[in-house]
Amino acid sequence: MSSIVRQPVFHPVSVVFLDDSPDFLYALRGLFPGAGTDRYFTNAAQALAFVASHEARQSARNPAAGAAWSEFEKRGGNALGEDVMADAARFGDIAALVVDYEMPEMTGVEFLAAAKDVACTRILLTATADESHAVEAFNAGLIDFYVKKSDPAMTRKLRGAIEDAKRKFCARRGHIGVHGVGAIYANRRIADVLHEIALRERIVEYYWRPEQNAVLTFDALGNAGVFLAWDSHDWAAQCDVVADEGGPEALREEMAARRIMPVFWPNEAYRPGMARVEFATRQPVPGLDDTFASWTRIDDPGLAPGLITFAAWRAAQGAPGEGANLA
């Protein structure tokens, strides 16, 4: 596995829906309730102005090149990139544009071509007669996906495309771990376990934290949790730290036998004098030898000043309903 890996991050983002039919938009709002951050437009010009306002934020950028990489080389550390949790505007970023093809002001393809400078997924909704135009637009790279409104599976296909767009968009904002630190979290099987836990526990956002080499999670109310993944090397390293720091021998033995998986948050590993150590229910990761994952709730995530969760952002915004986002 590469020693430079993109680490997991996911958080609520915006999807822009454009259709000249208010009734169809109303139906979409019911089918895809989202997190209250989506925007709905019946007017193409207004939608285009809104999307254009995001161009500066959402232009393509590569934190592993140029000035950002030079600064990292000077500073050192285990991770490259800005801390997305410090960016309160992230929840309003556009992950996908869902646009009807047939509109009075311009076609959906023309709209998406005009919005090409915003880095996001482009989804076109078509009637059966418009399918050839959608294929041409796809081949020209103007759209990423199209769905026929008449398709009985439209809802399922559109939901899958939107969910995939959100995951891909957020993934681009994750820290880049270097020197192999946190490489296990880039494994597809580990990502699948994290995704399953997020669905089960109704987690709406999660972020790999370089200081702890763990994934910090939050539900919509701001309740925090920690996701850990350890392979054989991580287990050995954690056991060595307990021994080197003069920790309890019983703790080291239980860890070495894989009977317990402690959560040392807000530390990465055992530290002398720790007042309390949480113990998570570890589960083997299918398909990976001697690799375990766990998730447990924590009372205090210990966020540094300036870091904001979705729950805190919603409270500051007054938690408006989605009905206010129809233009």
User: Tens digit of pLDDT for each residue in 85-136?
Assistant: 999 999 999 999 999 999 998 999 999 999 988 999 999 998 876 778 888 8
Per-residue confidence (pLDDT) for residue 237, from 0 to 100: 94
SS3 percent helix, strand, coil of the chain, rounded to 5, is 40, 20, 40
Report which of residues 4 and 142 the model is more confident about.
Answer: 142
Report which of residues 61 and 4 the model is more confident about.
Answer: 4
Query: Does position 324 have pLDDT exceeding 60, yes or no?
Result: no
Read off the pLDDT of each residue in 278-297 and give the average, rounded to a whole number: 93
Report which of residues 327 and 100 the model is more confident about.
Answer: 100
Per-residue confidence (pLDDT) for residue 178, from 0 to 100: 64
Burial-class residue 223 by CB neighbours within 10 Å (0-12, 13-18, 19+). Answer: middle
Query: Does position 302 have pLDDT exceeding 60, yes or no?
Result: yes
Read off the pLDDT of each residue in 8-22 and give the average, rounded to a whole number: 95
Per-residue confidence (pLDDT) for residue 216, from 0 to 100: 97
Per-residue confidence (pLDDT) for residue 73, from 0 to 100: 42
56 pLDDT band, cuts 50/70/90, is confident
13 pLDDT band, cuts 50/70/90, is very high
Lowest mean pLDDT among 59-68, 74-83, 97-106, 151-160: 59-68
Query: Does position 322 have pLDDT exceeding 60, yes or no?
Result: no
Read off the pLDDT of each residue in 57-85 and give the average, rounded to a whole number: 59
70 pLDDT band, cuts 50/70/90, is very low
Read off the pLDDT of each residue in 193-212 and give the average, rounded to a whole number: 95
Per-residue confidence (pLDDT) for residue 61, from 0 to 100: 53
Report which of residues 327 and 103 the model is more confident about.
Answer: 103
Separation CA 63–CA 69 (nearest Å): 7
- What is the distance of C-alpha 322 from the center of its chain? 21
Read off the pLDDT of each residue in 240-266 and give the average, rounded to a whole number: 93
CA distances from 133 to 99, 101, 155, 190, 220 (A): 14, 9, 21, 40, 40
Query: Does position 253 have pLDDT exceeding 50, yes or no?
Result: yes
66 pLDDT band, cuts 50/70/90, is very low
Residue 217, sorted as left (phi over 0), alpha (psi -120 to 50) or beta, turns out to be beta
CA distances from 295 to 109, 167, 225, 226, 281 (A): 44, 20, 7, 5, 7
DSSP 90-104: GGG-EEEEEEES--S
Separation CA 191–CA 187 (nearest Å): 6
Task: Give the chain's mean pLDDT.
Answer: 87
272 pLDDT band, cuts 50/70/90, is very high
